[in-house]
Structure formats: C-alpha cells, structure tokens
Amino acid sequence: MSNYDPNDERRSARAAAGLIGLMLVALIVLMSVAPAASAGTPCEARAMTPARVADAARTARMVVDELDRHDAPVAVVSRVGTDLSKHGLRYSHAGFAVRDHADGRWTVVHLLNDCSSEGSGLYAQGLVNFFADDLIEQDARITWLEPAIAERLAARLVDLRHDPLYTPRYNLIARPGSRQYQNSTAWVLEHIAASIPERRVATDRAQAYLLAKAHGFQPDTIHIPYSKRIVGGLFGGANLAFTDHGVGTRLGGDYPVVTVRAILRWLDASGFEVREVEWRRGERMPEPGPA
C-alpha cells in the first residue's frame, strides 16, 4: 500500500484549478471575440461548443506546462486542423509560441487565412484559442530551435506591424519562393530562415527563402489531379490560386508546397531543431511520429 502524501492532493488541485481557469478564460475570450480566420478554410462562422473549448483547454494546458519546463523564448507549435492524410501529411498548420509576449505568457503568433480582401492576417492568440479552431484532432507537437535562432526569432516576433516577410495575398498552395502569394507555412519557414545567424541578414521574403534553400530546405510535392481542380473540394479549403505555379506544374499536377512536414524535416536534417515533444489524442508519445 502506498503512503498518503498531501502534496499529491495539493498538486492535483492546482492542476485542476489551472485547467478550469484556462477554460473560463477561453470561454470569455471566444464569446467576446470571434474572428473569421483559419488556416485555409472557408470564411464561415461556427458555434464554439463547451466540449470543444474543454478539449482545447486540456491540450493548451499540456503544451503550456511543457513550454514552461524549457528555457526558450520561442518554439514552433503544430496542430491538425485539416485531414491531409491522403497526401501523407499529419500536421496542417504551425505557429510560434512566444514567451512573455505582450498579449500573454505564451502567445501563438501565426498567419491565418481570413476574410480580408487579400485573404490573410497576422494573429496573436492564446494557446486555448489556437487549439479551438475547428480542429479534426487535438494533437500537438512542439519543436524547439537552436538557441541562437530562437533568440533572433523571438526578437523578430515582438512587433509585426511592419513585417517585411509577410504578403497578405493568401494562397493555400502558394509556390515556394513566390513573391505574389504566401500561405501560413511559408511564413513560418521564412521567419525561421531569416533568423539563422548569417553575416548577411535576410531583409525580404526572396532572401529568406533562398537562405532556407541554401541550408537544405526542400518543399513537399502535393499531387492535385486536374479533375480535382475542376470539381473543387481540395482540402476543404479556400483561397486557391493554381496560376501561382508554372504551366508545366499545372499540367503534371505535382505542386511543390511548403508544408509543416517539410519544415520539421528540414529543421531535423539541418540541426536547427534541438528537441521535440508530441501528443496524439491526448497521449504523450515516447518519440514524435511522422509529421
């Protein structure tokens, strides 16, 4: 028989209180502010159910606790918003969890497809909001970056009112390196690349993408048959511009795209990643699985 330890009871009470507190804050925020924004989904309002808020709060609590265990100013946080399994992909969206941001202890800064005239905006959200965005799974993955990159990246994310690495014209399948369009994952990639310590600092998107390529980045290839383009329904998404790609790509149907998987693969291969943690269906994995 194990010995009774009153500290265990106090720790459990604190954890429960923290989760309830997160849920209450989330409900207040979500009821008062409901921006029409998402990572590549149509602009339509959806009811926020208590169950969804509770699920998001539990995921956010796990992520916050893990972030607090490590002395890093920023980390990449990935989520499963859209079912991309037919393309061999798990995670559909990623953002930067920034420590001690002006909007909160841990605030996710990311690019979202929204209902603006050009299709996207830069958002700073709490982690509950981040995981309450109509996700198909409450899976989460944290990727910590090499300290020199993390420090430079955190400094970049303090004020994004005049972000030189942001293009408001959104395209879900934006061509890697495109100057005309951008998607959420390209924005993440380019900010990491621009934070790599180099003698020459990347000051625009073209330079940032070339720097990523110079360090070995390779985009994923997504096959989109012509028939799928005609009948629609791709990813359940909106804001698609096939003309961002060359004629040869459109005829062949193999589209190069910056995906979460491509970013995480690059960070691992380049040595820019120092640690990863993953949860699937609320369970912490012994080792992160395929992205």
Can you tell me the distance from the alpha carbon of 149 to that of 144, in angstroms, rounded to the nearest whole number? 10
Q: What is the residue-level pLDDT of the chain in tens, covering all 291 positions?
A: 444 344 444 444 444 444 444 444 444 344 333 444 555 455 565 667 888 889 999 999 999 999 999 999 999 999 998 888 888 899 999 999 999 999 989 999 999 998 777 889 999 999 999 998 878 889 999 999 999 999 999 999 998 989 999 999 999 999 999 999 999 999 999 999 999 998 888 999 999 999 999 999 999 999 988 776 654 445 545 578 888 999 999 889 999 999 999 999 999 999 999 999 999 988 999 999 988
Residue carrying structure tokens 């997504």:
222
* Residue 67 CB contacts under 8 Å (≥ 6 apart), including other chains: 75, 97, 99, 106, 142
Can you tell me the distance from the alpha carbon of 193 to that of 216, in angstroms, rounded to the nearest whole number? 11
Can you tell me the distance from the alpha carbon of 141 to that of 288, in angstroms, rounded to the nearest whole number? 8
Strands 137-145 and 273-280: antiparallel
